[in-house]
Structure 1
Amino acid sequence: MGENPLVLHVRVITPAALAPEVLKTAVDCHAVANVVRLPGAAVDPAGDCIEFDVAREGANEILADLRAMGLKETGAITIEEIDLSISDGADEAEAAAPGHSEDAVIWEELAARTSAETRLTWSYLVFLALAVQIAAIGALLDQPILIVGAMVLGPDFGPVAAFCFGVMQRDLPLIGRAARTLAVGFAVAIAVTLACAAASRLVGWIEPTMLDDRPLTSFIIHPDRWSFIVAVLAGVAGILSMTARKSQALVGVFISVTTVPAAGNIAVAIALAHWDEVGASLVQLGVNLAGLVVAGIGTLLVQRFLWSRFELGLNASAMSREP
């Protein structure tokens, strides 16, 4: 008896005429187990319901086959993760699929996730504005703990990942939406923080001398090669954490890059007329974003190359088992 949580459950609603082809596709795939057919069970859209479990490593191939049948238009394909699967068949399906489930990249899932990250929602703008304001206060008070808190709160890696995925897929609309979300998000967050900083200066809560000497947070205004290197490493980790669904690793990525602190420092530097710091912070922001994008695109390209080889291995394995 095996207990394997790294299996996906797929539910397909298909027109009755296509059901035999869908069923054959599922049964013939050695990464699939526990196939169920419910004739006439679907009401809207009308048709059959076919369900099965598939190892994550083999999901891309079978999802591509189902899409090629036009089921997106005539039916539906629903995928969900299984927290626990106690099935020898599921274990055998995973063993038949080359690679490891923990490393599997499901491109349909990543496409849906990155597309969602490009939405310019109120919650995105609020979280980014709050993060930039906390970072600005951290810069004023020279408090690294506030800077770290702001980094964790910032939601800006999502659009960066979407931008990288769009470049890999040559999806110009996705690239445009991601770039817009990043640009508008940071512009709004900086504008809100600038307004708060200007109001604070008018009432005497802050003054220009607060930015004169701050040894603990001066890294924000000193971009160098290490800033780029750290951003590259964080970009690799960020993409891997998204494709492997390791949310705890993604938190570490947020803490590593200086995008949000740089944006916060831009706002307070403008409000307090520290114009040299404005330019330095803009460079820091640009260096970090460039590092994230370069690393993200490179990581996705490597993953696509590796998983294309694994999928070829899965096809070869299936052919070798055919009588």
Structure 2
Amino acid sequence: MLKLRILSPTAMTDDLVEILEADSAVSGIALMRGASVKPVGDVILADLAREATNDLLDELRELGLHRAGTITIEPVQTWLSHNGFDAEMHTPGSSADAVVWAEVAQRSYDESELNWTYLSFMSLATLLAAVAIANDSQILIIGAMVLGPEFGAIAALGVALVLRRFVLFAVAVRTLILGFVAAIGVTTLLCLLARVLGWITIEDVTGPRPATAFVYTPDKWSFIVAVIAAAAGVLSVTSARSGGLIGVFISVTTVPAAGNIALGIAFGAGSTTWGSLTQLSMNLGGMAVAGWATLALQQALWSRVVVRRPRFLRGHRPIP
């Protein structure tokens, strides 16, 4: 169940209330006349089955509400309502499977924004990865993977392609490129300092590293893991189940590869640098393609549910 809050210009309020009342997926409506200051008008609150959100938002957009007023969507964690139960039962599909595309798009824009916080996390994660590689520590590698913020921008690529938001695609590509370049640059400078101080030696970079050699030795499994992880990650994002993202973060070799690239540049180790660059490219490419494919499949499957909805409602009676 979702909670819908609308700030409506006075002239649009009656039409909006009529639309909400006619939709069986809406289980409750509250209207506060004159409560909105900007825009000058009214506040409408409604309880809505998650499965019907996209259809209703399309109707509201057709009226131009998103330009003249404001639409806010919030999840309802706990609710007790027979009307709400009826609304969910009368709406085809499962709330767990329903993708609220406006929510996904907003989250993608937020997580692919290039800002100080993103660059800081990216640099710290890459630096931690370099330390992990120099010490051949799998524990530190996992820490660096979890710390890296890049998955949001990678997922945004798939969202942008499915929804045809090409501005979002450009923003995500820019964030990924500049984020990795900045993180590798900062880590390279600090690796050079560690080399001068004698904290890291060439043997640490080019010597045997049984625990972290996978960082610069890509193979078919690198691509397969990236595809599986991206599919799971996108499902976690669209279903608002963040627990699955942790598994994604510790499965893909993006930040560790960036850390090894920085070490390779600082110590002039060409073979490990190119191997890590290949690893990074394979993971980013595999995740982007898998994310797009997963979202496209979700969109195709859910569109079939939407087509069935009017027919389902015509033949379904309310629960007594």
TM-score normalised by length of structure 1: 0.95
Within a 5 Å distance, the mapping from 1:280-295 to structure 2 comes to 280-295=275-290
8 Å contact kept, 1:29–1:318: no
Instruction: Report the 3-state secondary structure (helix = DSSP H, G, I; strand = E; otherwise coil) of the residue aligned with 1:256.
Output: coil
The residue aligned with 2:174 is 180
- How far is the alpha carbon of 1:170 from its aligned partner? 2.2
* Equivalent AA in structure 2 for residue 27 of structure 1: E
| Range moving further from structure 2, 291-300 or 34-43 | 34-43
- Once residues 26 and 313 of structure 2 are traced to their aligned partners in structure 1, the CA distance between those partners, rounded to angstroms, is 11
- How far is the alpha carbon of 1:320 from its aligned partner? 4.2
- How far is the alpha carbon of 1:273 from its aligned partner? 1.7
Within a 5 Å distance, the mapping from 1:161-240 to structure 2 comes to 161-211=155-205, 212-240=207-235
- Once residues 27 and 312 of structure 2 are traced to their aligned partners in structure 1, the CA distance between those partners, rounded to angstroms, is 16
Q: In structure 1, list runs of 5 or more residues that go unmatched.
A: 1-6
- Once residues 239 and 321 of structure 1 are traced to their aligned partners in structure 2, the CA distance between those partners, rounded to angstroms, is 33
Q: Which residue of 257, 268, 271 maps to 1:273?
A: 268
**Correspondence 1:89 to 2:83:** yes
Q: Which residue of 226, 243, 248 maps to 1:248?
A: 243
- Once residues 42 and 208 of structure 1 are traced to their aligned partners in structure 2, the CA distance between those partners, rounded to angstroms, is 66
- How far is the alpha carbon of 1:29 from its aligned partner? 1.1
Which digits, 9 at most, give the CA deviation of each residue in 1:117-160, with x for residues without a partner? 22111000000100001111111110000000000000000111
Aligned identity (percent) is 44
The residue aligned with 2:145 is 151
**Correspondence 1:98 to 2:84:** no
Which digits, 9 at most, give the CA deviation of each residue in 1:184-224, with x for residues without a partner? 00000000000000011011111101121111110111101
**Correspondence 1:308 to 2:296:** no
Q: In structure 2, list runs of 5 or more residues that go unmatched.
A: none
8 Å contact kept, 2:90–2:316: no
Instruction: Report the 3-state secondary structure (helix = DSSP H, G, I; strand = E; otherwise coil) of the residue aligned with 2:96.
Output: helix
Within a 5 Å distance, the mapping from 1:115-126 to structure 2 comes to 115-126=109-120
- How far is the alpha carbon of 1:97 from its aligned partner? 1.2
- Once residues 220 and 196 of structure 2 are traced to their aligned partners in structure 1, the CA distance between those partners, rounded to angstroms, is 38
- Once residues 25 and 306 of structure 1 are traced to their aligned partners in structure 2, the CA distance between those partners, rounded to angstroms, is 26
Within a 5 Å distance, the mapping from 1:109-148 to structure 2 comes to 109-148=103-142
- Once residues 235 and 298 of structure 1 are traced to their aligned partners in structure 2, the CA distance between those partners, rounded to angstroms, is 10
CA RMSD, Structure 1 to Structure 2 (Å): 1.2
- Once residues 144 and 32 of structure 2 are traced to their aligned partners in structure 1, the CA distance between those partners, rounded to angstroms, is 51
